[in-house]
Amino acid sequence: TSIQAEAAYARELAHDQLPALTPSAEAISRITAHMMEVLQLILRELRPVGLEAFGLAASLEQLVDSRNRSSHGRCLHTLKIDGDVGGLADNLNVSLYRIVQESLTNAQKHADARHIAVTLRCDGNELRLYVDDDGRSEPGSTFDGGLGVLGMRERVQALGGRLTLTLRDEGGLRVEVVVPADAGRPSPAANVQEMHA
């Protein structure tokens, strides 16, 4: 915002005193406006709009619908949710959303997938997330290299779960996440300590 204000001031001065600088001041203003738009997009990506208000299921539906629209028929994204995922801890919701988001991006961008199926199952004690794609994956891949995969691993480990990436027999990749359904909630011992503090 400060850069935008300074650019507007420079544009006024240039217009009145140094007309040759006007195109540069206007370019700074345009670039700054673009940076602000990109920043807003990044902030929306960091904290999905509606996740707290509408819950994980609705947010995943919106994400899948958005990816289907933006792929213009090049890739079909599907979502299936089994069980109740309505009462999960906020950080578990955010982590699952981010893992799905990263998995969709990787499958479409790096593996050129034509179909990506997201399945989330909750049996009361355990959550299982599967993201299956039909993209190109090299046999013998270790999937260790990218920051996206590293970020997913760290999220899952912080929740006391496990992340597995395996090649599918029919081609493509399976991302599998298994976490306790109560992950992200304070332990009863922590609550007792907080009460005595």
**Residue the block writes with tokens 């199952």:** 121
Does the CA dihedral 38-43-46-47 come out positive or negative? Answer: negative
pLDDT in tens, 44-96: 666 666 777 789 999 999 999 989 998 889 999 999 999 999 889 988 999 99
| Tens digit of each residue's pLDDT (9 = 90 or more) over 10-43 | 888 888 898 898 899 899 989 998 888 888 777 6
For CA atoms 158, 162, 168, 174, give the dihedral sign.
negative
The band of 187, judged by pLDDT with boundaries at 50, 70 and 90, is low
Spatial contact of 83 and 122, defined as CB atoms under 8 Å apart:
yes
Architecture of domain 51-180: 2-Layer Sandwich (3.30)
How many other CB atoms are there within 10 angstroms of residue 135's CB atom?
Answer: 20
pTM reported for the whole predicted model: 0.70
For residue 162, pLDDT over 80 is answered with yes
